[in-house]
Structure 1
Amino acid sequence: MHTEKNVFDNIFNTVMDFKGKTKDGLAARKDMTIWCDRPEHSVDLEYQGREVPKAVYQVTEAQKAAILQWLVSLKFPDGYCSNLSRCVDMNKLTTTASMKTHDAHVIMQRLLPIALKEMLPEHVWSCLTEISLLFQSICSSVLDAASLQRLQESVPILMCNLEKIMPPSFFDAMEHLIIHLPYEALTAGPVFYRWMYRFERFLGELKKKVTNKAHVQASICQAYLQQEISTFSSFYFERDVITRRKRPARNDDIGEDLYENVVSIFNYPGRGKGAATQRYILGRELQIAHTYILMNCPEILPFYHEFRASLSAFPENEIDAMVDSDFVNWYKYQINSREIVDPLLVALSWGPCASAKVWRSYVINGYTYHTSAYGQGRPTTNSGLCVPTIGYDNSESNFFGVLHEILELEMPCGLQKLTCVLFRCKWVDPTRGVRKNSKFNMIDVNHSRVYEKNEPFLLAQQAAQIYYAEYPSTRRTQNPWVCACTVRPNKIISQTQHKDVDLDAFQQQFFQPPPIVETINYNIQLSNPIGGRVEVMPETHLPDLTIPSEREIVEMYEAQQNAQYQEEGEWIDGSDTE
């Protein structure tokens, strides 16, 4: 946590050339003149001025203003990070003390590669992006030991590449600690069990309890005792009494028993925010919604395969068109002709009611979604969507889009009411409008290249939230490509709550394999002012690391305890000896 913050400060302040914060200066350039063979960065050793030539790792004043203005204009999903516009001083073109450690965490891992994409040369940007991905990889909630081992072998090469770019004064103890981070993650496990965010938040809560600065400890103790007493008393209140303990979280869906009423894809836990309005879905729009519901019900899958098999003589594109236009009527005819009495299958044949509820905001799976119109003028953006799909030819692709409308449809099923929430989206063409940088795991989206097929609907529980970040640039023409960034939900959903419901979980940010770090082709010759050649230290290889399992750890602990009991003259079972 603190290593990441300090490394970010060194990189960002040096690249942005903030006065009084940068690691670059006249003394650093004189060191480069003495130690490094970099004529473009060298200065006269007798020079006593203040201005030094711009380095390859620094941005110009116009680029600096563009990056800071970009930080001010960025919008993030609800609860993603703080308002970065309060961390920037556009008058002085610098950052303020309002930038906290978590802000540096977000910028370092998510925004730094986007901000410097069009501002720095390729070899400088790629090196800084690899450092960003290094922190992103070791901060994942799920780690892969083999990938961490490869990352540990690549970190020295990464630091050598950084040494070929930055001045010698840039490197301090913080940059040296990067070497040990993969080994630490490999030995100690995921970082969120060890970093200091939760402890510093708790210390912040204790500071808020101080009302008498003359007696700080007593003030904290008194406020803490009052909180404990009120919390204990709240357990004896009636259920309808709302207390701090019972108050639903901001991104809570419904309650604890989330999946008791789930029937197929219906009655999925979620709640709308604000007041809902009513509107009617008629004609072609209702047929498209009905077809989409049928296509996503696992109970309808045998009928769907049967319908496609009956059309095997037609080309694939014609089959898709016939599914969109004729599958609903064919399925209804099959239910009536076969005299099927299953209530769910019969209700699906009749389809949803034409009257639908329309929400401006909806909470589901720990995400808070807003329509694009409702998000206009708000400081946050919650309308970005992504859904992974598998085509008929087993090809995988991601659909990226923007949420335009939230519809809650009702489907009568005997005495039971089935509800289904659909998102109406504007999709980007997955072939022409999406490009991926496989090396750095970056996905760009072009919203001007719209998906041509009329398939606007998406089940709310299938969506994963993303946000789109533009690339800052000093060009007059705006770049139509924006970077799509994933978002973790604000509520952790336990897999045990899903029971028999087979749904994709997007709440975990799994380990992304780091890119293969290669030595950059940047011709830097090191010179020794004392004389002679610069010797390279031989490579050292760490021994293979094996992480003991939980059972092995318990066995080692029991063996240690038994040995301690024997030394103290006690039996292994804990009984005293006579």
Structure 2
Amino acid sequence: MPEGYASNLGKRADMNEGKLIGMKSHDCHVFMETLIPIAFSHLPERIWKPITEISLFFKDLCSGKLLESSLDRMKENILVTTTKLEKIFPCDFFYVMEHLPIHLVQEARLEGPVQTRWMYPFERRNRPNRNDEGDIDPLFPPISIFNQNGRESKKRRKRGFTDMEIQSAVTHILLNCPDIQSYVNLFVNTWGNEAIYTEFSKWLRNYDEYSSVQHLQLVKEVALGPQFEVLVMNKYCVNGFKFQTEEVSRNKKTNNSGVYIQGDVDGTGQTIKYYGVIQEIIEVRYSGWPNKKIVLFRCEWFDPSHRGTKVDHQHNIIEVKHTRKYRSYDPFIIAQYAKQVYYASYPLRRDKNDWWVVIKSKHVGRIEIDNVLDMAYQNDVAIVQQQVDVELETTLQHHQHILEEVYDDGILNVEEEISENEENESFDDEEWDDNENETTEEEEWENDGIETSEEE
């Protein structure tokens, strides 16, 4: 796992008794929200699904933002999930705490997101703060892509850039520089998207009409490309993450080399997400004054197509095939745009030996908020789908396909039983009174005969 994400869970495992001991509350959250679906993936689907659903419930409940629509779905899903768990585990397992999740949705609705109520911020105050991202150099140019902060590694070495690396790095920097987007649009309208990766940097070097750009000289220097000599480092801290190369992380308990970034939009209108591993951390410098430098990650990407990346939308599980790599040569990303992930393998599934589960990491000591305060109402946003498979309410399905029917007619409320008993008692009294007042036809005829004789 990345550094600062959780403690070393391997030390908490007791192999003799087969259980985890000595876990802190944060470790329990990590295990419950992220590792349970992976650890128990070898179980039958009828058992694995309810366990995964309760894991997703707590993951959504602990999100930084809670939507009203998501809370409504969570309230419906947790009832069905609890019923499924009652069919799997014995009755003695279910005490008050096992039924408590049913009420947590209402608590979140009344008190807001969980990060305003848990104790982790106060625990972090008990240790000294550290500037993980350094300070912004006041001599940096006003172009936004170079005006970034980060803490570099002290151990650095120099090496030369190859022609292929320069072409790819320069194109990536230019396409992600906001001050040059107007020229990117002009080139695309003239030459199309296909030539942008091979010809845009050359076209921009020879372009002369810079009158519309505010920072004329700086854009010219950026268009000429960086220096051929670059600085290579093994560690870089930025955006609350600590990134390391794959070689450095290989022999450590923590792994900080996983990275992902959002790419272009595909033909279906969805954004392509690239998952990979950092191979090198490179600092690129430009000529001219003021000093201009930018940190790039050279990554090895997994195949983003359906052959190399699978997404289970129902259970929110992303898998990558680590033996299948991305064929196109586009290894560089800007460090400030990178986000950290780590990859977990399946422990007991031989059919999944080539697949890793992608788990997104969180910033250390940060809570992201948008500028819109109305959306204030970890997973960043809890967007809950109708993901729980709802069975028939009157049927409990056994694993051997034995159906147990529940008849609603035979189940009465206590108050209804009392009221019905009272009605029956009152009805019996009235019936008894009526029986006393009833007379037979013979008695009525005899009475009529007596009355007529008296009149005569």
1:248 aligns with 2:173: no
Q: What is the match of residue 177 of structure 2?
A: 297
Q: What is the match of residue 7 of structure 2?
A: 82
- Structure-to-structure mapping, 1:544-559, within 5 angstroms: none
Equivalent residue for 1:114, pick from 22, 31, 38: 38
Q: How far apart, CA to CA, are the structure 2 residues paired with 1:158 and 1:360?
A: 45
Structure 1 pair 125/298, CA: closer, same or farther in 2 (3 Å)?
A: same
Question: For residue 190 of structure 1, what is the amino acid of its counterpart?
Answer: P
Query: How far off is 1:123 after superposition?
Result: 1.6
Q: How far apart, CA to CA, are the structure 1 residues paired with 2:265 and 2:349?
A: 40
Q: How far apart, CA to CA, are the structure 1 residues paired with 2:173 and 2:308?
A: 26
Q: How far apart, CA to CA, are the structure 1 residues paired with 2:63 and 2:212?
A: 53
SS at match of 2:281: strand
Query: How far off is 1:311 after superposition?
Result: 2.7
Q: How far apart, CA to CA, are the structure 2 residues paired with 1:385 and 1:283?
A: 25
Query: How far off is 1:339 after superposition?
Result: 11
Do the aligned residues in 2 keep the contact of 1:143 with 1:510 (CA within 8 Å)? yes
Do the aligned residues in 2 keep the contact of 1:405 with 1:424 (CA within 8 Å)? yes
Structure 1 pair 176/379, CA: closer, same or farther in 2 (3 Å)?
A: same
Q: What is the match of residue 68 of structure 2?
A: 145
1:535 aligns with 2:411: yes
1:356 aligns with 2:230: yes
Query: How far off is 1:351 after superposition?
Result: 0.8
Do the aligned residues in 2 keep the contact of 1:437 with 1:443 (CA within 8 Å)? yes
Q: How far apart, CA to CA, are the structure 2 residues paired with 1:187 and 1:482?
A: 38
1:279 aligns with 2:153: no
Structure 1 pair 201/170, CA: closer, same or farther in 2 (3 Å)?
A: farther
Question: For residue 518 of structure 1, what is the amino acid of its counterpart?
Answer: D
Q: How far apart, CA to CA, are the structure 2 residues paired with 1:438 and 1:339?
A: 46
Q: How far apart, CA to CA, are the structure 2 residues paired with 1:170 and 1:534?
A: 27
SS at match of 1:98: coil
Q: What is the match of residue 573 of structure 1?
A: none
Q: What is the match of residue 159 of structure 1?
A: 82
Question: For residue 83 of structure 1, what is the amino acid of its counterpart?
Answer: N
Q: How far apart, CA to CA, are the structure 2 residues paired with 1:339 and 1:106?
A: 51
Q: How far apart, CA to CA, are the structure 2 residues paired with 1:77 and 1:421?
A: 20
Equivalent residue for 1:417, pick from 260, 266, 291: 291
Question: For residue 480 of structure 1, what is the amino acid of its counterpart?
Answer: D
Query: How far off is 1:160 after superposition?
Result: 1.3
Equivalent residue for 1:473, pick from 334, 348, 354: 348
Query: How far off is 1:470 after superposition?
Result: 0.5
Q: What is the match of residue 130 of structure 1?
A: 53
- Structure-to-structure mapping, 1:405-484, within 5 angstroms: 405-413=280-288, 415-431=289-305, 432-473=307-348, 475=350, 479-484=353-358
Structure 1 pair 495/184, CA: closer, same or farther in 2 (3 Å)?
A: closer
Q: Which runs of 5+ in 2 are unaligned?
A: 372-377, 415-456
Query: How far off is 1:308 after superposition?
Result: 2.2
Q: What is the match of residue 344 of structure 1?
A: 218
1:510 aligns with 2:381: yes
SS at match of 2:146: coil
Question: For residue 179 of structure 1, what is the amino acid of its counterpart?
Answer: I
Q: What is the match of residue 444 of structure 2?
A: none
Task: With the length of structure 2 as denominator, give the TM-score of the two structures.
Answer: 0.79
Question: For residue 154 of structure 2, what is the amino acid of its counterpart?
Answer: G
Do the aligned residues in 2 keep the contact of 1:365 with 1:491 (CA within 8 Å)? no
Equivalent residue for 2:103, pick from 158, 180, 184: 180
Q: How far apart, CA to CA, are the structure 1 residues paired with 2:369 and 2:141?
A: 17
Q: What is the match of residue 95 of structure 1?
A: 19
Q: How far apart, CA to CA, are the structure 2 residues paired with 1:200 and 1:327?
A: 51
Q: How far apart, CA to CA, are the structure 1 residues paired with 2:7 and 2:100?
A: 27
Q: How far apart, CA to CA, are the structure 2 residues paired with 1:284 and 1:201?
A: 45
Larger radius of gyration: 2
SS at match of 1:416: coil
What percentage of residue pairs aligned between the two structures are identical? Answer: 34
Q: What is the match of residue 519 of structure 1?
A: 390
Q: What is the match of residue 335 of structure 1?
A: 208
Structure 1 pair 337/167, CA: closer, same or farther in 2 (3 Å)?
A: closer
Do the aligned residues in 2 keep the contact of 1:281 with 1:354 (CA within 8 Å)? yes
Question: For residue 232 of structure 2, what is the amino acid of its counterpart?
Answer: V
Q: What is the match of residue 429 of structure 2?
A: none
Do the aligned residues in 2 keep the contact of 1:389 with 1:399 (CA within 8 Å)? yes
Q: What is the match of residue 23 of structure 1?
A: none
Equivalent residue for 1:387, pick from 257, 261, 269: 261
Q: How far apart, CA to CA, are the structure 2 residues paired with 1:407 and 1:127?
A: 45
Q: Which runs of 5+ in 1 are unaligned?
A: 1-75, 206-243, 313-318, 499-506, 539-578
Question: For residue 115 of structure 1, what is the amino acid of its counterpart?
Answer: A
Query: How far off is 1:306 after superposition?
Result: 2.2
- CA offset digits 1:3-61 (Å, max 9, x no partner): xxxxxxxxxxxxxxxxxxxxxxxxxxxxxxxxxxxxxxxxxxxxxxxxxxxxxxxxxxx
- CA offset digits 1:255-307 (Å, max 9, x no partner): 49999866221131111123111111132211211111111112222222222
Aligned residues: CA RMSD: 3.2
Q: What is the match of residue 32 of structure 1?
A: none
Task: With the length of structure 1 as denominator, give the TM-score of the two structures.
Answer: 0.63
Q: How far apart, CA to CA, are the structure 1 residues paired with 2:123 and 2:302?
A: 42
Query: How far off is 1:103 after superposition?
Result: 1.6
Structure 1 pair 368/199, CA: closer, same or farther in 2 (3 Å)?
A: closer
Q: What is the match of residue 170 of structure 1?
A: 93
- CA offset digits 1:450-501 (Å, max 9, x no partner): 11111000010111100000011153x66211100011111327769x9xxx
Structure 1 pair 356/121, CA: closer, same or farther in 2 (3 Å)?
A: same
Question: For residue 122 of structure 1, what is the amino acid of its counterpart?
Answer: E
Q: How far apart, CA to CA, are the structure 2 residues paired with 1:512 and 1:324?
A: 36
Query: How far off is 1:200 after superposition?
Result: 7.3
Q: What is the match of residue 454 of structure 2?
A: none
Question: For residue 164 of structure 1, what is the amino acid of its counterpart?
Answer: K
Instruction: Name the stretch that deviates more: 357-366 or 161-170.
Output: 161-170
Question: For residue 24 of structure 2, what is the amino acid of its counterpart?
Answer: K
Query: How far off is 1:373 after superposition?
Result: 0.6
Query: How far off is 1:356 after superposition?
Result: 0.8
Q: How far apart, CA to CA, are the structure 1 residues paired with 2:282 and 2:180?
A: 22
Query: How far off is 1:325 after superposition?
Result: 2.1
